Amino acid sequence: DVGPEVDRNWIGRRVASYGPHALYVKQEAESVRAVHRDVPDEQAAFFTIAEIVMNGVRRGKVEWGDSAAVYGAGLLGQFAARFCRLCGARPVFVIDVASSRLGLLPDDPMIVRLNPNDTDVVSSVEKWTRGRKVGVVFEVTGNASLIPSEFKILRRQGRFVVLSSPRGETRFDFHDLCNSPSFTIIGAHNSSHPTHATPENQWTMKRHFELFVDLVADGELDVGSLITHRVPYKRAPEVYEMLLKDRSQAMGVLFEWK
């Protein structure tokens, strides 16, 4: 249903929102997005992740032919790798210690899976890039202590995008890891989206949502392969407990509200 001041043409339409996990939610009309293409509900539900990552990749200024690296192959990292490829980046390195997560990446020769437990990441990147290293690194692990080491594969004057929300403090040498190599460090919180489209920047959250749905509907972005669990909503506490113990065994988890 809709409030008295809302256009009743909204009734019966599929919409997406940032509402909580619940069977019924109440949202401001201005905040919802109309699902304008025929994509499955369970794939449209990934729009929040897509919007966050689209904004981060755009802020990272990924260019055609550029090389990129993604640290962390969780949901954000999975989308980051895919969007970098759609932007024309090659190769795209994805680094994670969980082989199960790396295994969910697309079968694409220009997406290079690297597990630090059995691979020298720096040497591998240098070999693939003919010694140039990468133009942009996306930090998606959220592990504050790892951040300094992630600069090792970034070329001079490269861009480092903090796409995660790191917890805790990071000891950081700004001379060696920023000033001397002239790196650009970019924050990419979802709130950095413009609130209104302008001729200089049209990419609001809703505009990114529209693009995301089009990519899924047109077969350019595979989201369904990221769904690893479908569980009744009453098992939510059990699922959260599982994720706290070992997140590597799950990727996209959907709650079913039947």
Give the pLDDT band of residue 119 (cuts 50, 70, 90).
very high
pTM value is 0.93
Rounded distance, CA 231 to CA 249, Å?
A: 15
| Tens of pLDDT, residues 72-88 | 999 999 999 999 999 99
Q: Is the pLDDT of residue 11 over 90?
A: no
pLDDT digits (tens, 9 = 90+) for 154-194: 999 999 999 999 988 999 999 998 999 999 999 999 999 99
pLDDT at 13: 85
Q: Is the pLDDT of residue 1 over 90?
A: no
pLDDT at 46 exceeding the cut of 90: yes
Give 30's pLDDT tier (boundaries 50, 70, 90). Answer: confident
Question: How far is the C-alpha of 57 from the C-alpha of 81, rounded, in Å?
Answer: 9
- How far apart are alpha carbons 200 and 241 in whole angstroms? 44
Q: Determine the Cα–Cα distance for residues 13 and 10; give it in Å rounded to an integer.
A: 6
- Collapsing DSSP to helix, strand or coil, 201 comes out as coil
What single-letter amino acid sits at 111?
I
**What's the chain's average pLDDT?**
94
At residue 243, φ and ψ (nearest 5 deg) are: -65, -35
- List the beta strands (DSSP E) in the chain: 15-16, 33-34, 68-71, 92-95, 111-114, 134-139, 154-162, 184-187, 227-232, 252-256
Structural contact between residues 75 and 98, judged by C-beta atoms closer than 8 angstroms: no
Q: Can you list the domains of the chain with their CATH numbers?
A: 1-58+202-222 (no CATH), 61-187 (3.40.50.720), 230-258 (no CATH)
What six digits make up the tokens of 181?
A: 């190599």
